[in-house]
Structure 1
């Protein structure tokens, strides 16, 4: 208890100065942030270059950014022809209608967005399935989305409407034709919230959709939801009311800043470059050769390429290898790494060395399964190194 109070005092002193000393903050965060105090939220916002270093600028900066995000919501989550998007409240003309073949039409963009939205929706619904948090209703739902008087449909409803329901035709022994639906209703897969509520996964879905719209060159790529999840979870569970109420906007900008550093990992054209995920996997294998030549040689002999297992480790920042509470602790150290992302590569190397005894004795199929599904060993590593 004394050590914990000492750390709280250290964070209070560093974050209480007029200008935050980032070197001291990184050193503190690398050993873990006290989550109950709310210091993790503030620290991550600083480590992800969202908040300025001058404390007296925080309020004005957050107000400006949150207003900007609200503008994004109004401009990008609209339906063509709605009063929200039609300033003159005029009817949609024949120049822009759902059957308009012009790719630049609003309806054309709407249908194209729906194709991307289906994948985002699928990924966000199953975010952290072992944790019920993302299925629960948010404390501060987006008013533009849940207000029945607005004509802005929620993204969830857009997906439910755009996904066609396929049916199977069959005949029974009497020769009567039956039509059987092959798509489950939404309420059969997920609990339905009351009118005016929205689940946390819907908030994550909205953030990712807006990010994809603002970054058409990259768009949405599967796995981005796993990067956003820990950030949003941290902000929405902060004891400070203001942080919880504006968790969506703050998460968007922190996620955007983090993606600016790791977006090359999601870009397939960068896989073989000196800056993409291919480069990181080469660094990992080179480190393994230096630290454990026998283990590295065994993987090479079995042609167990790092693309089969390390691609996920590095791209998703280990968010799939540990339970979410442990991921938060790991990210304290990962985001504190000034040499991004050397700590990540070092930890992945340690994970492989932890499995060396099994790797050296097992065959290709067993090792493949071990490296892809090895939560027991990695949790052991976490307990040993971070607790």
Structure 2
């Protein structure tokens, strides 16, 4: 988070040109307000609506520090990438969680030791994010949820694989009525980007993106994650296990990837 709040060395050139009247995305967001009325109700049920005209800021300024004009924070670059992607892909638009996918990609390019490559981090990120979403977009389209290419089918595939590899653990989760959507939805749609620290996410993605059948490999990784904490899951009750699955314990990612590869070799 600290990195994304820092200023980029390569802000959008349109921002630096005083001759154009380009309105920055930052300014458009800052100006987004909602005219609202305050409603008060006393104990006797009388409703009092105050006079209109009070504005509520939809985007609190304390979430990210806004830098002075002429400079841009890395989070603003990411915001622009997502904004343009949504405009160019109205059928998908922006869905919460896409920021968790674009973040590691942008970070990798924007911290490249080669300054010439770093300068083009925004364009490179947009290109790679668009290509990745062309393969992964079905997870973000609600109308496809229950199709064979949708997220529901993929979540059930994790349990189907677990059933083949570890019947005892599968039956335990079924007995406790722990459904795959309780945790695998986030694992699969965000490509595990919220489950591990950023260096570990990048390491997992190296293996994921180098696999020709990368999204099947992701299911193998999810299954491996379950098997590696099987003893804790078998010993835990519903509450403990839900907490464990929604906040995966610190684990060496190389162990997880090795287990996934083992499952892949035996399939």
The normalised TM-score by structure 1 is 0.59
The alignment yields a C-alpha RMSD, in angstroms, of 2.4
C-alpha distance in structure 2 between counterparts of 1:255 and 1:278, whole Å = 23
Deviation of 1:140 (Å) = 0.2
Written as runs of structure 1 = structure 2, the 5 A alignment for 1:1-387 is: 131-164=1-34, 187-374=61-248, 377=249, 379-382=250-253, 384-385=255-256
Q: Is the 8 A contact 2:25 2:80 kept in 1?
A: yes
Higher relative contact order (CA 8 A, sep 6+): 1
Secondary structure of the 1:380 match is coil
Secondary structure of the 1:198 match is coil
Long gaps (5+) in structure 1 = 1-130, 171-176
Residues 314 and 152 of structure 1: is their aligned pair in 2 closer, same or farther, counting only changes over 3 Å?
same
Residues 346 and 249 of structure 1: is their aligned pair in 2 closer, same or farther, counting only changes over 3 Å?
same
Q: Is the 8 A contact 1:146 1:198 kept in 2?
A: no
Deviation of 1:342 (Å) = 2.0
Q: Which residue of 2 aligns with 1:34?
A: none
C-alpha distance in structure 2 between counterparts of 1:369 and 1:143, whole Å = 46
The normalised TM-score by structure 2 is 0.84
C-alpha distance in structure 1 between counterparts of 2:28 and 2:56, whole Å = 20
Q: Is the 8 A contact 1:165 1:183 kept in 2?
A: no
Deviation of 1:383 (Å) = 5.5
Deviation of 1:316 (Å) = 0.6
C-alpha distance in structure 1 between counterparts of 2:150 and 2:257, whole Å = 28
Aligned length: 247
Residues 189 and 320 of structure 1: is their aligned pair in 2 closer, same or farther, counting only changes over 3 Å?
closer
